Structure 1
């Protein structure tokens, strides 16, 4: 079963009316019929405005969303496995991963990935798939924490932002000896079976 992850640094449906990277994502499954795509807005605490933008952007497909309360549904694994694409939004990465682990939704996503469901996400939803995350917490201080570990290394989105770049570079050069991916807001990376196959600039 082919395993696919698309990590999006910036842009996408929340910032652009017709985002190239979203069109690119929809072409990955190569299906003629409309796609089953679900938005996960945990990192923004299920912000309704964010969810509304998702539905508007993907109205030509078969869009749905999964809120935090849905994660403990008894049939959640079947629901996620039936999707073509999972699209994870941006926001607070630590909060998102903590919530997923508390509800065991992290395991659901890992099993869906192994079953061939395409995983995609922007910002927090891009870095979460990697072994190690380095990002700001609720107090605005940068710290290291574990990602889901589906991909080796660590990813820094928004690398064109001076504060983000300086903090990540300092940590990576002084404390981290793994693979690093640094992406400006218009850069994205596509992995198949844990191998980088494309870097897309938009």
Structure 2
């Protein structure tokens, strides 16, 4: 079963209309019929305005969204397995991962990925798939925490942000045997079967 993950650093539907990177994502899964694509906005605490933007951007497909409340549904694995694409929004990465781990939704995503559901995400939704995350603890501090370990190494989105770049570079000096990826806001990575196959610059 072919497995795909698309990591998006910036842009996408939340910042621009008809975003190229979103078109690229749809082409990975393109079939004759509209695609079943679900948005997960855990990192923004299920912000309704963010969810609304998603529906507008993907209105020609079959969009849906999965809230934190839905994680408790007895058939949530079947719901996610039936999708073509899972699209994870940005926000607080550590908060999102904690919620997923508490509810077991992290394993739901792992199982769906193994069955060929395409995983994509922007910012927090880009770094979460990796072995290790390094991101904000608060407004002044960054810290290391575990990601989902579907991809080895670590990813820093928004690398063009000076403060983030300095913090990540300092941390990177302690990661001697780890694969580290840095993406500015117009850069994105496509992994197939856990191997990097394309860097997309928009």
Which TM-score band (shorter chain)?
over 0.9
Unaligned ranges ≥5, structure 1: none
Aligned partner of 2:101 in structure 1 is 101
Residue 29 of structure 2: SS of its match in structure 1? coil
Residue 49 of structure 1: SS of its match in structure 2? helix
For 2:44 and 2:26, the matched residues in 1 are separated by: 23
Aligned partner of 1:53 in structure 2 is 53
For 1:22 and 1:128, the matched residues in 2 are separated by: 19
For 1:5 and 1:147, the matched residues in 2 are separated by: 14
Q: Which residues in structure 2 correspond to 1:50-199 (within 5 Å)?
A: 50-199=50-199
Q: Post-superposition shift, 1:139?
A: 4.6
TM-score normalised by structure 2 residue count = 0.98
For 1:140 and 1:77, the matched residues in 2 are separated by: 37
Is 1:43 the counterpart of 2:23? The answer is: no
For 2:176 and 2:37, the matched residues in 1 are separated by: 35
Q: Post-superposition shift, 1:17?
A: 1.1
Q: Post-superposition shift, 1:173?
A: 1.1
TM-score normalised by structure 1 residue count = 0.98
Residue deviations 1:41-95, cap 9 Å, x none?
0000000000000000000000000000000100000000000000000000000
Classify 1:74/1:175 alpha carbon distance in 2 versus 1 (closer, same or farther; 3 Å).
same
For 1:141 and 1:176, the matched residues in 2 are separated by: 22
For 1:82 and 1:140, the matched residues in 2 are separated by: 41
Q: Post-superposition shift, 1:32?
A: 1.5
Aligned partner of 2:25 in structure 1 is 25
Residue deviations 1:144-198, cap 9 Å, x none?
0000000000000000110010000000013453000000000000000000000
Aligned partner of 1:6 in structure 2 is 6
For 2:41 and 2:177, the matched residues in 1 are separated by: 31
- After TM superposition, the runs of 4+ consecutive aligned structure 1 residues lying more than 6 A away are none
Q: How many residues align?
A: 202
Classify 1:175/1:152 alpha carbon distance in 2 versus 1 (closer, same or farther; 3 Å).
closer
For 1:129 and 1:62, the matched residues in 2 are separated by: 24
Q: Post-superposition shift, 1:138?
A: 3.5
For 1:185 and 1:110, the matched residues in 2 are separated by: 26
